[in-house]
């Protein structure tokens, strides 16, 4: 009798472990509006240290109708739900899935007479590691910083936007120095003017990795910095090593042509 009970308990325990494993392995779904095509934005994202999944959709239905659908759906399931916005030009509907530790929400906007929605799934319990990503530099005098990480294969990507105290040239020097300490080398540097303000783009690389930094002058004492780190492959599916080689050769040809023009001028 005792052995029978023990076997039953063992089977029940094993079943419980399997159910937990299946629940943990299942991907939580994003909010979906019926009849609309939803397009995922990346795969798993890390925004400000929190895990997200995002998608967008477009529909001819009014914003009020879309917002009402999600509010009724989530309230009908018994989840605390909040609706914000004027429901004409913008609206946000979100619900807390308290048992799962998740927040589901949609951000709605009107564009060219249609409703554009951004669906979001946010994990409230799990935080991303605080270790900074390779290639994304943090500078002294940073007034604001926001990081976004994608965990797509292969290699993923990381993005960072910052507002830094300092002139553009000074910030550029700091970026190159920090990347050099991480083993990156300069591939290309391109300057331009956008809206009358200077903009500088820096490309650094090391084997299998590439960092693109865009610096824009905000005012005499402030610089905006956007950085993108890409892993083994670039977003356009060109192998990173080949892309770096081509970029370096193009830069060298440009420098040689410039030198030839200078030598040929009277």
- Identify the structural domains of the chain with CATH numbers, from first to last: 28-127 (3.30.310), 142-264 (3.40.1000)
Residue whose C-alpha is closest to residue 29's, from 53, 2, 50: 53
> What is the pLDDT, as a whole number, of residue 22?
30
127: Cα separation from own chain's centroid: 15
> What is the pLDDT, as a whole number, of residue 227?
87
Kindly report, residue by residue over 55-92, the tens digit of the pLDDT.
Answer: 899 999 999 999 999 999 999 999 999 999 999 889 99
> What is the pLDDT, as a whole number, of residue 75?
95
Those residues whose C-beta lies under 8 Å from the C-beta of residue 143, and which sit 6 or more positions away, are 162, 163, 164, 165, 222
Tell me the two tokens of residue 114.
């249609």
Confidence band (pLDDT; 50, 70, 90) for 11?
very low
Positive/negative CA dihedral, 94, 100, 102, 104:
negative
Residue whose C-alpha is closest to residue 137's, from 248, 228, 30: 228
**The 3-state secondary structure of 54-69, one letter per residue:** EEEEEECCCHHHHHHH
Helices (H) and strands (E) in the chain, counts: 4, 12
Kindly report, residue by residue over 197-234, the tens digit of the pLDDT.
Answer: 888 999 888 877 788 899 998 888 889 988 888 765 44
Residue whose C-alpha is closest to residue 156's, from 50, 240, 215: 240
pTM: 0.48
| Whole-angstrom distance, CA of residue 236 vs CA of residue 238 | 6
> What is the pLDDT, as a whole number, of residue 84?
94
Residue 151, SS3?
coil
Residue whose C-alpha is closest to residue 161's, from 203, 209, 213, 238: 213
Using CA atoms, how far residue 107 sits from 13, 90, 124, in Å, is 42, 8, 18
| Whole-angstrom distance, CA of residue 45 vs CA of residue 149 | 5
Judge contact between 33 and 114, C-beta under 8 A: no
Looking at the DSSP bridge assignments, the partners of residue 50 are 47, 127
Using CA atoms, how far residue 239 sits from 115, 152, 188, 236, 255, in Å, is 38, 15, 18, 9, 25
> What is the pLDDT, as a whole number, of residue 6?
43
Confidence band (pLDDT; 50, 70, 90) for 236?
very low
Looking only at the bridges linking them, the beta strands covering 209-219 and 222-230 are antiparallel
Kindly report, residue by residue over 101-156, the tens digit of the pLDDT.
Answer: 889 999 999 988 999 999 999 887 776 655 555 667 777 777 766 666 555 444 55
Q: Look at residue 49 and tell me whether its pLDDT is greater than 60.
A: yes
Give the long-range contacts of residues 149-154, CB within 8 A, separation 24 or more. 149/45, 149/46, 150/42, 150/43, 150/44, 150/45, 150/46, 151/43, 151/44, 151/45, 151/46, 152/42, 152/43, 154/231, 154/232, 154/233
């Amino acid at each position: 009798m005792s052995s029978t009970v023990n076997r039953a308990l063992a089977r029940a325990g094993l079943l419980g472990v399997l159910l937990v494993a299946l629940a943990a392995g299942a991907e939580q779904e994003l909010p979906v509006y019926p009849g609309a095509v939803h397009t995922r934005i990346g795969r798993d994202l890390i925004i400000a240290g929190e895990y997200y999944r995002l998608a967008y959709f477009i529909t001819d239905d009014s914003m009020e109708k879309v917002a009402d659908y999600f509010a009724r759906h989530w309230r009908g399931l018994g989840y605390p739900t909040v609706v914000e916005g004027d429901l004409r030009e913008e609206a946000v509907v979100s619900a807390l899935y308290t048992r799962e530790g998740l927040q589901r929400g949609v951000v709605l906007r009107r564009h060219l007479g249609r409703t554009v929605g951004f669906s979001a799934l946010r994990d409230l319990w799990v935080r991303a590691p605080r270790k900074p990503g390779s290639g994304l530099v943090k500078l002294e005098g940073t007034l604001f910083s926001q990081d976004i990480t994608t965990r797509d294969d292969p290699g993923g990507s990381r993005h960072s936007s910052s507002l830094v105290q300092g002139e553009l040239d000074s910030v550029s020097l700091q970026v190159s120095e920090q990347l050099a300490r991480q083993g990156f080398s300069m591939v290309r540097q391109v300057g331009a003017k956008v809206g009358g303000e200077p903009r500088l783009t820096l490309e650094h690389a090391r084997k299998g990795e590439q960092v693109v930094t865009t610096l824009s002058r905000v005012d005499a004492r402030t610089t905006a910095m956007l950085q993108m780190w890409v892993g083994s492959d670039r977003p356009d599916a060109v192998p990173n090593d080949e892309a770096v080689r081509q970029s370096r050769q193009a830069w060298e040809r440009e420098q040689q042509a410039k030198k030839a023009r200078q030598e040929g001028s009277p």
